[in-house]
Amino acid sequence: MEDTIAAIATPPGVGGIGIIRVSGPKSRDLLRLLFKSAKGIGDLRSHHLYHGDIISPETGAVIDEVLVCLMKKPHSYTGEDVLEINCHGGPVILQTVLTEIVKAGARLAEPGEFTRRAFLNNRIDLSQAEAVLDIITARSDRGLELAVSHLKGTLAKKIETLRSTIIDVLALLEASIDFSDEDIEVCKPLEIADTLKATLDELQHLLSTYREGKILREGISAVITGKPNVGKSSLLNRLLGEKRAIVTPIPGTTRDFIEETVTIRGVPVKLTDTAGIREPENLIEREGIDFVREKLSGADIMLIVLDGSEKLSGEDHDILNRAGTKRCLIIINKTDLPHRLNETRLQTLLGKTAPQPLWISAKYGDGIDNLKDAIYSLAMDTPEHHHSEHIISNIRHKTALEKTSVLLSRARESILNGVSPEFASFDIREALDSLGEITGKTINEEVLDRIFSTFCIGK
């Protein structure tokens, strides 16, 4: 990596400060060429801020008043010399400064190239590199907490502990192959099988955290459905804590769907308010209802809203029947009005295994906390969060762990069945390669390209 890269590291738009990041062997030369300070900078000290101006080398004109910081290798994010220029946060200023940097010998960075260089220079492993993106895109406090944990290396340490155990097993197997002609018992098959069983149990425990990790990272989708005028839009507004959807007593007010995200007990939940389902009166309403059914088919959770101040109608029956085995919560709204809905009849219609309906008042907020608890429990498949020190949230990690588990299981079966240790040794080597994909010890360029292409330019 002999070239020097540069990019704007702050988001597009106007702000108080905008940062341009430079990484590579020309970072110091670029700083001396483009930066002028009234006090002079002499021998540049690493990790110190200097105040002055960025100028055009061609004309000497001042482009911006800035603060600059040079972070000398290897003590920088990328492991190379890194220059950060803190400009005023205007897009024209930032682009002008970046243009001068490129003219002076740098090139524009590709998406994720700074973090890719950090990985290639062994500053971070691949799971930590992916955690950088997860921190940037975190959608809740708990999602951020998980990403920071991965960035600090908790997952990597767990993977390396597992790899170390597997390497020890492989060493014993290889030794038994080398000394197979001698009357020496290098390893005991049952002990190796027990070690592999313990490792497999740890892998399965790690795999069991994926659903929780995926939800914390990506969130869930919950579609609010029901017949017209049951209070779907009022419920959306109440869960959001603001007026987002129009609420009127006129059926069919909501024609299109409205999507907003709210955090419930640390889980990002994308709520979708939909048109009321009934026999359509015109083509526009038919399109809206067809759209609702399409949304329902792809939702993680269905929130079926019924009107507690009215008897169950044929439209209610139709909606409940269509729900089938879908993960759903039955919400009976309008507890602030006289109750006319027969809950016994509703429970008979739903069946004994159906969840207990929740009574709420979207208008006044009664029962909303219980509803949030129920949404969280249904999402996580548990009434409470069980803290685990190691949680995976990335499908790439899950796939690698599953492959590792299959290979180790096969190796263990070979050992227990008295098959020649060469076969078990081969599977264990494959398992090590698979596990190494998580931290990047065994990875190819195509996978790296795919991972870093999802990063923003400047990170």
Domain total of the chain: 3
Residues 227 and 285 in one domain: yes
Q: 459 in a domain, yes or no? A: no
Residues 145 and 279 in one domain: no
Residues 270 and 339 in one domain: yes
Residues 191 and 327 in one domain: no
CATH number for the domain spanning 310: value is 3.40.50.300
The pairs formed by 243-250 with CB atoms below 8 angstroms and a separation of 24 or more are 244/273, 245/273
Residues 86 and 141 in one domain: no
Q: Among the three residues 54, 81, 109, which one is the final residue of a domain in this structure? A: 109
Q: 410 in a domain, yes or no? A: yes
Q: Among the three residues 355, 380, 405, which one is the final residue of a domain in this structure? A: 380
Residues 243 and 338 in one domain: yes
Q: 121 in a domain, yes or no? A: no
Q: What is the pLDDT of residues 22-66, one digit of tens each?
A: 999 999 999 999 999 877 777 788 999 999 999 999 999 999 999
CATH number for the domain spanning 91: value is 3.30.1360.120
Q: 49 in a domain, yes or no? A: yes
Report yes or no: 208 and 257 within 8 Å, Cβ to Cβ: no
In tens digits, what is the pLDDT along the chain, a chain of 459 residues? Answer: 689 999 999 998 899 999 999 999 999 999 999 999 877 777 788 999 999 999 999 999 999 999 999 999 999 999 999 999 999 999 999 999 999 999 999 999 999 999 999 999 999 999 999 999 999 999 888 899 999 999 999 999 999 999 999 999 998 888 776 555 555 455 688 899 999 999 999 999 999 999 999 999 989 988 888 888 898 888 999 998 877 654 445 444 444 568 888 999 889 999 988 765 555 445 545 555 555 666 666 678 889 999 999 998 888 888 787 776 568 899 999 999 999 898 888 887 877 777 789 999 999 999 999 999 999 988 887 544 545 678 999 999 999 999 999 999 999 999 999 888 889 999 999 999 999 999 999 888 888 888 888 888 888
Q: 425 in a domain, yes or no? A: yes
Q: 122 in a domain, yes or no? A: no
Residues 134 and 203 in one domain: yes
CATH number for the domain spanning 134: value is 1.20.120.430
Domain of 367?
A: 221-380
Q: 408 in a domain, yes or no? A: yes
Residues 280 and 352 in one domain: yes
Q: Among the three residues 352, 380, 408, which one is the final residue of a domain in this structure? A: 380
Q: 123 in a domain, yes or no? A: no
Residues 200 and 228 in one domain: no
